[in-house]
């Protein structure tokens, strides 16, 4: 069962994006009110506060794990880009420039043709 202050604050919790944040705020303000007025905390209030603190701790741990995962993703992306550059560099070394190879082949074919044409003319004459 929720402490008596929770139903009062439900209407004021709507602007909060995270319901646990509103519950935590309500629990803290209730605790302040109880300690300021000298009233002892009820068991239900303490249990509710403990539950809120546990959820906040879980949320903080999840945020920390998410932050670590984001850092790992950034490192892996940087490594991937570095390796992609290295692969491109190695491919360029292994495969000579295609246009240069084609030009060289055409030059060799022309030299061969020029050498064969006089031989063909001599054998045909």
Domain boundaries, position 104: 99-125
Residues 25 and 39 in one domain: yes
Same domain? 19 vs 53: yes
**pLDDT tens over the chain, length 125 residues:** 444 444 444 444 444 455 555 665 665 665 555 555 556 779 999 999 999 999 999 999 999 999 999 999 999 999 999 999 999 888 878 776 777 778 888 999 999 988 888 888 887 65
User: What is this structure's pTM?
Assistant: 0.43
The reply to whether 82 and 115 lie within a common domain is no
- Residues 83, 103 within the same domain: no
Structure tokens at 2: 């929720």
122 and 89 together in one domain: no
Two structure tokens written together for 57 = 């701790």
In this structure, the answer to whether residues 113 and 57 fall within a common structural domain is no
Structural Rg of the chain based on CA atoms: 39
Spatial CA neighbour of 52 closest among 3, 105, 93: 3
Do 29 and 79 lie in one domain? The reply is yes
Q: Per the structure, how many domains does the chain have? A: 2
26 and 41 share one domain: yes
């Amino acid at each position: 069962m929720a402490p008596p202050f929770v139903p009062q604050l439900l209407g004021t919790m709507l602007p909060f994006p995270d319901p646990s944040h509103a519950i935590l705020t309500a629990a803290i303000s209730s605790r302040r009110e109880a300690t300021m007025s000298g009233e002892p905390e009820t068991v239900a209030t303490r249990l509710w506060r403990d539950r809120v603190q546990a959820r906040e701790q879980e949320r903080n741990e999840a945020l920390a794990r998410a932050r670590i995962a984001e850092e790992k993703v950034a490192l892996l992306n940087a490594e991937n880009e570095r390796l992609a550059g290295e692969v491109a560099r190695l491919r360029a070394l292994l495969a000579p420039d295609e246009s240069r190879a084609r030009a060289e082949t055409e030059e060799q074919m022309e030299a061969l043709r020029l050498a064969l044409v006089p031989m063909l003319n001599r054998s045909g004459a």
